[in-house]
Amino acid sequence: MRKLYSALKIICLVALGITLICLVAVIAYVLIKGTGKLSFDLLFGDYKSSPSILPAFVGMLELVAIASLIAVPIGVASAIFLVEYTNNKGKLVRIIQVATETLAGIPSIVYGLFGYLIFVVAFGWGYSIIGGGITLAIMILPTIVRSTQESLLSVQGGLREGSYALGASKVRTIFKIVLPSASGGIVTAIILAIGRVVSESAVLILTIGMVVNKVPQNLLSPGTSLALDIYYFASNGYRDEAAATSVVLLVFVIFLNLLASGIGKLIKKSTGEEK
């Protein structure tokens, strides 16, 4: 018996090794294959004659802006309602909770299909950046709601009491005391949600149209994003460009992740939660 369990221990460590190797391999491959292929032309070049990811930059930034402008206020406000007004209890809260959980579980391609049906077809916008952005906003909403809820719940009750005891109204307590105290967690959640917008591609295939060789003129124009460019390049035989674009996207995503943890800590420090 003892031998069996010792063997299991070794198997576990081997599994740990495999996990690390697999994941490191993905990153290492992209970096090694792609870094050398980064060129000025690809990054900022004339996208009409040779592949360039300039339109994707523009598209991605616009998508991030639209999605967060919509999802952040709505998400934070609904978390405020759930935590500050209902004590996280009651029937309505249960229904909202179930709705957010269900939204969180819907595959991105289904979001894409929905975006296609409503914005491209029903609204008649055709493929457009704004349609994609709104669809992405709905997609990241559950994450923002849930993380904001957690951050609000972690604010000490004593602070709210202290504020009420000074004659501050509920709204003032929320905006001046509770939200600033929870801001570290909320900002982290927002940055991670932006990370999801940047990484997403399945939604966009069906909503913004994957037009890789045009900078979008306005929000109703079709467009592309970095993640979508990778798919486009890879499936049209530009594998080097795909790898190089992956490097750029990877740098973005890792940067956002580091920023998220860094900013969270910074805000905690500035509000004195951590000494």
Partner 1 sequence: MKSSTFINLKEKGMRFVFLFCAIFSILALATITVFLFISGTPFIAKTGFFEFVFVMKWAPLADEIAYGIFPMIVTTLYVTALSVIIGVGIGLLTAIALYKFCPKKLVNPIRQMINLLAGIPSVIFGLFGMTVIVPFVRDYISPNGVGYGIFSASLVLGIMILPTIVSVSLDSLNSVPSSYYEGALALGATKEQATFKILVPSAKSGILAGVVLAIGRAIGETMAVIMVIGGSPEMPNSLFQSVRTLTANIAMGAMELRGDALSALIATGVVLFVFTLLLNISFSLLKREKNDKIKKKESKK
Partner 2 sequence: MIDFTGKMNISVKDCNLYYGDFHALKNINIEIPEKQVTALIGPSGCGKSTFLKILNRMNDLVEDCKITGSFKIGNIDIFDKETDINALRKNVGMVFQKPNPFPMSIYDNIAFAPRTFGIKKRSELDEIVENSLRRASIWDEVKDRLKKSALGMSGGQQQRLCIARSLAANPKILLMDEPTSALDPISTGKIEELMEELKKDLTIVIVTHNMQQATRIADNTAFFLLGELIEYGATDDIFSSPGDERTERYITGRFG
Which residues is 209 bridged to in the sheet?
223
Cα separation, 255 vs 249, in Å, equals 10
> Measured from the CB of residue 95, what is the shortest distance to partner 1 in angstroms?
6
Cα separation, 232 vs 242, in Å, equals 8
For 223, the 3-state DSSP assignment is: strand
- How many CB atoms are closer than 10 A to CB 184? 22
32 binds, among partner 2, partner 1, none (CB under 5 to 8 A by kind): none
**Residue 221 DSSP symbol:** S
> Measured from the CB of residue 105, what is the shortest distance to partner 1 in angstroms?
4
Instruction: Rule CB under 8 A: choose which of 148, 163, 201, 245 binds partner 2.
Output: 163
> Measured from the CB of residue 39, what is the shortest distance to partner 1 in angstroms?
18
Given the complex with partner 2, which of 173 and 224 has the nearer CB atom?
173
Instruction: Rule CB under 8 A: choose which of 41, 150, 240, 273 binds partner 2.
Output: 273
272 binds, among partner 1, partner 2, none (CB under 5 to 8 A by kind): partner 2
Given the complex with partner 2, which of 236 and 271 has the nearer CB atom?
271
56 binds, among partner 2, partner 1, none (CB under 5 to 8 A by kind): none
Structure tokens at 112: 């894409």
Cα separation, 178 vs 182, in Å, equals 6
Query: Residue 209: phi, psi to the nearest 5?
Result: 95, -5
Asked if residue 115 lies in contact with residue 203, where contact means CB atoms within 8 angstroms, the answer is yes
181 binds, among partner 2, partner 1, none (CB under 5 to 8 A by kind): partner 2
Rg from Cα positions in the chain: 22
Which residues between 175 and 234 bind partner 2 (CB under 8 A)? Answer: 176-177, 180-181
Instruction: Choose the binding region for partner 2 from 4-12, 46-54, 126-134, 163-171 (rule: CB under 8 A).
Output: 163-171
Which residues between 55 and 94 bind partner 2 (CB under 8 A)? Answer: 87
52 binds, among partner 1, partner 2, none (CB under 5 to 8 A by kind): none
Taking alpha carbons only, the member of 200, 157, 165 closest to residue 66 is: 200
Query: Residue 125: phi, psi to the nearest 5?
Result: -80, -15
**Site of interaction with partner 2 (CB under 8 A):** 87, 156, 158-169, 172, 176-177, 180-181, 270-273, 275
